[in-house]
Structure 1
Amino acid sequence: MAKLSTEDRDDLSKGSFAFPKQRKEPLENASHVRNAVARFNQVKDVSDDERDDAWKRIKAAAKKHDVEISEKSWREIGKS
C-alpha cells in the first residue's frame, strides 16, 4: 500500500477520508480504498449513520479508482 507520511495525511481534506470526523481511512488511491474496506469494522466509536456515510464515500472512491467491491453494504463485510 502507498504509505502516507504524517505530514501528507495532515494535509488531506476531511473529505478525503471514509470517516472524516475521525480522519480515519484515507481514500486517496486504489490501495487505500481496499485497505478502508478491509479495516472498516475496526473503526471504533462511530454510529451506524456514520458507517453508512463512510460506505458511500468508499463506494464512490472505489468507482473512481477502479476497485471492485462485491459487498452491497458495509454490513456484508466478512460475511462471505
Structure 2
Amino acid sequence: MTKLNEKDRDGLAESQFAFEKQRKEPLENASHVRNAVARFNQVEGVSDADRDAAWKRIKAAAKKFNVEVHESDWREIGHKKS
C-alpha cells in the first residue's frame, strides 16, 4: 500500500476519505481502497449511517480504480457466503 505522510494526508479533501468527517480510510488509489475494505470493521466511533455513507464512497472508488469488492453491503464483510 502507498504510505501517506502527514502532509499528504492533510492535503486530501474530506471527500477522498471513506469516513469523511472523521478523515479515516483514504480512497485515492486502488491500494487504499482495498485497505479501506479490509479495515472497515476496525473503524471506531462511527454510526451505522456513517458506515452506510462510507460504504457508498468505497464502492464508487472501487469502481473508479477497478478494485473487485465481493460484498454488496458492509454488513457482509467477514461473513463467508455459501
Q: What's the counterpart of residue 44 of structure 1? A: 44
Distance in 2 (alpha carbons) for counterparts of 1:17 and 1:62: 13
Q: What's the counterpart of residue 22 of structure 1? A: 22
C-alpha RMSD of matched pairs (Å): 0.3
Distance in 1 (alpha carbons) for counterparts of 2:28 and 2:70: 20
Distance in 1 (alpha carbons) for counterparts of 2:24 and 2:75: 18
- What is the number of equivalent residue pairs in this alignment? 80
- SS of equivalent residue, structure 2 residue 68: coil
Please identify runs of 4+ aligned residues in structure 1 that moved more than 6 A.
none
State the 1:35 CA deviation. 0.1
Q: Which runs of 5+ in 2 are unaligned?
A: none
Q: What's the counterpart of residue 31 of structure 1? A: 31
Q: Which runs of 5+ in 1 are unaligned?
A: none
Distance in 1 (alpha carbons) for counterparts of 2:13 and 2:65: 18
State the 1:62 CA deviation. 0.1
In the alignment, does 2:6 pair up with 1:3?
no
State the 1:60 CA deviation. 0.1
- SS of equivalent residue, structure 1 residue 54: helix
State the 1:27 CA deviation. 0.1
TM-score by length of 1: 0.99
- SS of equivalent residue, structure 1 residue 25: strand
TM-score by length of 2: 0.96
% identical equivalent positions: 71
State the 1:42 CA deviation. 0.5
